[in-house]
Structure 1
Amino acid sequence: MRTTKTTRLLLLSGVATVALMGPAMALDAQAFVDRIAEVYRPLGYDFTFGAAALDGDTITVDGGTVTIVSSPDAAMEPLTFDTEVTFTGVVENADGSYTAESVTIPDIDTDFAEEPAGHLTLSDVRVDGFYLPAGNPAPSIGLLQLFQSFSTGPLSLTRDGEEVFSFESMASQSTFNPSFATTELTDLASTFLISGMSADLTSVAEEDPAAGATIEALGLTSVTGEIYMEMSWAMADGHMDVTALTFDFDDVGALDLTFDITGFTPTVLDQIYAMQAAMGTGGEPTEEQAQAQMMQGMALMQGVNIVSASIRYDDASLAGKLLDFFAAQSGADRATFVEGLKAMLPAMLAESGIPALNDLVVPPVSAFLDDPQSLEVKVAPPSPTSLLVLMAAAANPAGLITALGLAVEANQPVD
């Protein structure tokens, strides 16, 4: 009796061990990289990978090629990468999805063009928390969770040996509720930052002498700055709030975009991806197909509502330099040139046929021309308004201004 119990315990232990080892034993390196290609193809990335090898729960891929497809009929030149990509902590889940603890790529140092000679270096590329959702096509709720964080160290692009663009680092990070890589995602928050950007625009003159001369006159031959984005997104009501999308250039100016919308749910995203997939097959659509696509697009817009949006420019010298530059070209001093612009504004707006624009635009733009600090255009409908309703309101531009809650402000502090 004791022997029988012992035997049964050993058998149960063996079954448990096999069950625990199952995911790692079931891993197939080629199936994993094939799944990467499948998941990213609808997003516009066409991957072809080199040989893939498995060692425990680590998969290494010997380079490959990626082609970015911007539309069904347009694709960029394929970019070949010969560096080894390492996926560590890979797990194949019961539903057919995959996760990996991290993805690392050795430092890149490669030529990408011959005439003119182009060279790229990029270091410290890393992804933490990598996810390949199940499904064919993969649902948008999974595509929103492809990674938890992505970062790189310095990048440098050179043209004929001269650096034309660089940055110190790039980083993107997202948090997911209730957890990462789940089909029960309720909301997420993301940030993105490119810091220490530097662009040398002196080479523009080689392609366009007139533009190069303007860039030099404005003192823009060397530009530095950063790009920053911050957003949150709730899945149930599709509430997406982009609180910052900022392009900030030192001693030049900063452009900041924000928008707050509702109704942009994963279901809407799934429908958009399905429309894109349908448009990518069968060549040029028939008139009936085009009308059906338009109706489907209008139905989607019916459910997406604008809560608010804004675009704001804060000047750090560019506006003043532009006024000085064009004043000199016209043969006038800056004050005279500005007064001329202000006098022209009402006539220019009158051509739009919307009298209400005059009172809305002339005072703030005139104030900005007199003292360039900031200029902001804001939209804040009295209540969240669907894109389809706004399109209908566009037939009456004066009514559209009211429907949008349109406002223009100059030289006001940030809210």
Structure 2
Amino acid sequence: MMSLSKTTSLMLASGLATLALLQPAMALDAETFVNRIETVYKVMGYDFSFGPATLDGDTITVDGGTLGIVGLGDEPMKFDTTLTFSGVAETEDGGFTADSLTIPDIDTDFSADPVGHLSLTDIRVENIVLPPEGVTGSAALMQTAGVVATGPLSVTRDGAEVISIDSMDMTSEFTHDAAGALESLVTTTSIAGLWADLSTVKDEEPDAGAMIEALGLTEINGDFNQTMTWSMGDGHLVLEESKLDLADAGAIDFKLDVLGFTPAILDKIYAMQGEGLEATSEEAQAKQMMVGMELLQALSISSASIRYDDASLAGKLLDVFAAQSGTDRAAFVEGLKATLPGIVAQSGIPALTDLVVPPVSAFLDDPQSLEISVKPPQPTSLLVLTAAASNPAGLISAIGLAVTANQ
């Protein structure tokens, strides 16, 4: 019995000693994790300083902190919110992963007069990946989160709702080569159920408020959707869609296809951000100019376009302006079309007249869609196009400028 008792006591003592030794390591792991977040996001221009971090199993809880923007010099914003990282694990190379970050619902006033109140629910970040210490290249940084999403957002002014959103979601899918290096990514972003009450604009901007009421836009409803693909090897970035679609008003969509936007180029941008936004010395300005020239040389444009599809807004604008001019819409449109060649001629670029006047005139007659696009015969660097700008007529041909209506 005595021997068994001693054995039990020794086992208990050993267990307690082991637990005591483990506690500092566990605390260190938690602090190392949040320190890594601070380091990673500082490269991207965000200056985080987290509060105490504690580890419980594979969950790390962070007690508030501060957030500033590198180089601005403003007082950092303090937040008392508890951040909970779940499913945290250390990778073989010394990095970290986490299944998710959850943040308590936000329900707070942000101004006193008028009383501004914001509520935001179901905030989550998923598929978190932090690179090993010392690895701060953009290819690693852009993989730090696979999903960033929220539920409903509501903003009120003196108790009346002025802005609301049903949900926001940004999801990135990453493709890697056999060695584990990032090859490409596809990012989709959506904001669903966007709503805003514009009736209060008249309180501070009477003229703008009167125009909003005349157009029947005291409330707007819509959605925003964006899809982007990006290949790391050649820096081929394609913005397939970036559309804001407002019901009973219209939709505007921006598309872009560029080459040369590689992680190395993004590294240069991050480095410039890290030096501060207030860099005003001659040396700093010269360095920024050099980086700007490198970007212009590296990036080549394949195509770009911006398109507007009308859903009554253009027609309502024509009706309002016609009424203000004391005439009907048909006469007002004919007057606009008559002055349009002269307006375009003021640019001093004769080639623009044939390019712009026919489609814009067609849109004024029957507002359906209007699109401005550029598509060079072959991908052309922005530096070459900048140089070509000294000859506007030549630039139009170089970029393949086109204006189309109702197509």
Is the structural similarity TM-score above 0.5?
yes
Larger mean CA deviation between 170-179 and 233-242 belongs to: 170-179
User: Structure 2 CA distance, aligned partners of 1:346 and 1:62?
Assistant: 63
CA contact (8 A) 2:45 2:273 kept: no
Q: Could you say what the CA RMSD is over the residues aligned between the two structures, in angstroms?
A: 2.0
CA contact (8 A) 2:197 2:220 kept: yes
Describe the SS at the equivalent of 1:232: strand
Match of 1:285 in 2: 281
Q: Which amino acid aligns with 2:33?
A: F
Structure 1 unaligned segments of length 5 or more: list them. 1-20
- Write out per-residue CA displacement over residues 67-121 of structure 1, whole angstroms, 9 at most, x where no aligned residue: 3x3x73475x754433321101112334442210111112221122222211111
1 or 2 for the larger relative contact order (CA 8 Å, sep ≥6)? 2
Larger mean CA deviation between 47-56 and 244-253 belongs to: 47-56
Q: 1:56 to 1:375 in 2, by over 3 A?
A: same
> Equivalences for 1:10-409 in 2 at 5 Å?
28-67=29-68, 69=69, 72-73=71-72, 78-136=76-134, 138-178=136-176, 184-280=181-277, 283-286=279-282, 288-409=283-404
- Write out per-residue CA displacement over residues 173-217 of structure 1, whole angstroms, 9 at most, x where no aligned residue: 1111128xx961011111000000100111211211111111111
Describe the SS at the equivalent of 1:236: coil
CA contact (8 A) 1:172 1:190 kept: yes
CA contact (8 A) 2:51 2:62 kept: yes
Describe the SS at the equivalent of 1:186: strand
CA contact (8 A) 1:99 1:129 kept: yes
Q: 1:327 to 1:293 in 2, by over 3 A?
A: same
User: Structure 2 CA distance, aligned partners of 1:361 and 1:137?
Assistant: 50
TM-score by length of 2: 0.89
Q: Which amino acid aligns with 1:369?
A: L
- How far apart are 1:410 and its partner, in Å? 0.2
User: Structure 2 CA distance, aligned partners of 1:361 and 1:47?
Assistant: 49
Q: 1:319 to 1:289 in 2, by over 3 A?
A: same
- How far apart are 1:257 and its partner, in Å? 0.3
Describe the SS at the equivalent of 2:60: strand
User: Structure 2 CA distance, aligned partners of 1:289 and 1:262?
Assistant: 28
CA contact (8 A) 1:27 1:91 kept: no
The aligned length equals 383
Describe the SS at the equivalent of 1:331: coil
Q: Which amino acid aligns with 1:307?
A: S
User: Structure 2 CA distance, aligned partners of 1:220 and 1:66?
Assistant: 36
Describe the SS at the equivalent of 2:275: helix
Q: Which amino acid aligns with 2:50?
A: F
